Amino acid sequence: MSVSQKLKWKKLINQLRYMYEEMDIIDDMASAAAPEFQEYYEQFCAQRGVDIGELNRKHAERVRELYGDAEDCPGPPSSIPYTGSTGLVPFEGEDGPQVEAPLSDVALDGDDKQLYDTFCKLFKKLAIRLHPDKLSNMDLAKDEKKEMLQMFTKAKAALEEKRYFVLIDYAEKLKIPLPKNYRQQTRWMKKELEIARTKIGTQMRSYNYMFAEADTDEARDELIRQFIHQLFGEKIQ
């Protein structure tokens, strides 16, 4: 492989690593904001005399269209609370609600399958050095053994989640030879970057995430109004 191709491969690894870190932070922000959104939503309605339960009953069909099963629907504290939807995003205009469906897992294509097999082999090489059974027979400092156990756990999760850059990082750290199918890895990483960008974009447009980003009560109030209008078709002053 040429020097330029290898540099492109390294560049894509850095981009993918950053994209996954960004996605994790955004997901955590949205998850943390979900109960805060619920609490603010209930307070907003209570202060304006809006009966959430009545809205749910009145617009049950509309809510089901957006959320599916009843247990996923927003409601008053006496019902199962709304925990947020990463798929429900604001719509523009008066044409009705738009729901952006989350990306589903796609069956492995040729590159995906071959890469998974390739990184399975790399994981096995890492496991020879990091597996708890191996470490138990090694004379290592307590901190070093703990670090290697953590590396094993993270490497196993990375293989399952197809975060192959983690395996590459650990292999380089332990001086284990890397897979040489750079062109195939490059194609796969480009595709993964597009999937990650789509997921991030969807999450950043979710009500939970936008609530986390709202800095003022005025911004939060407007977001709740938009949510109620989208969900129930009701305009609240």
Name the percent of the chain lying above pLDDT 70: 81
**Which amino acid, one-letter code, is at 127?**
A
pLDDT of residue 4: 86
- Distance CA(205)–CA(203), nearest Å, equals 5
Is the pLDDT at 206 greater than 50, yes or no?
yes
More confident residue, 79 or 209: 209
Is the pLDDT at 55 greater than 60, yes or no?
yes
DSSP state at residue 50? -
Contacts of 36 (CB under 8 A, 6+ apart): 211, 212
pLDDT of residue 96: 39
pLDDT of residue 90: 55
**pLDDT tens, position by position, 86-124:** 445 554 444 433 434 333 344 446 778 889 999 999 999
Contacts of 129 (CB under 8 A, 6+ apart): 148, 174, 176
pTM: 0.76
pLDDT of residue 1: 66
Name the percent of the chain lying above pLDDT 90: 55
